[in-house]
Amino acid sequence: MSSREAILNAIKEAKPHNSDSALPEVNILHTTYEDLDAKFATTLAGVGGNAVHLDSLSAVEDYIKEHYAEATVIVSTVEGLHVGTKELGATDDPHTLKDVDLAIIKGEFAVAENGAVWVKEADARHRALYFIAQKLMIVVPKGEVVHTMHEAYMRVGFDDKDLFGIFISGPSKTADIEQSLVIGAHGATEACVVFI
Tens of pLDDT, residue by residue over 14-40, are 876 665 667 677 677 788 999 999 999
Q: How many residues does the chain have?
A: 196
DSSP letter string, 40-98: HHHHHHHTT-EEEE-SSHHHHHHHHHHH-TT--SEEE-STT----SS-GGG-S-GGGGT
What is the separation of C-alpha 139 from the centre of its chain, rounded to a whole number of angstroms? Answer: 9
Specify burial of residue 116 (Cβ count, 10 A radius: 0-12, 13-18, 19+): buried
Beta strand 164-168 with 190-195: parallel, antiparallel or unpaired?
unpaired
Looking at residue 128, its pLDDT comes to 86
Contact of 24 with 164, CB cutoff 8 Å: no
Nearest to 142 by CA among 35, 55, 32: 55
Backbone angles phi, psi at 64, to 5 degrees: -65, -45
Determine the pLDDT at residue 173: 79
25 or 60: which leads in pLDDT: 60
What are the counts of helices (DSSP H) followed by strands (DSSP E) for the chain?
5, 11
Q: Which of 23-32, 48-57, 163-172 has the highest mean pLDDT?
A: 48-57
Other CB atoms closer than 10 Å to residue 176's CB: what's the count? 8
Amino acid residing at 165: G
pTM, to two decimals = 0.82
pLDDT score recorded for residue 124: 60
Which CA distances in Å does 103 have to 59, 100, 106? 17, 7, 10
Q: H or E segment at 105? A: strand 102-106
> What pLDDT, on the 0 to 100 scale, is given for residue 43?
96
Nearest alpha-carbon partner for 115 in 6, 195, 196: 195
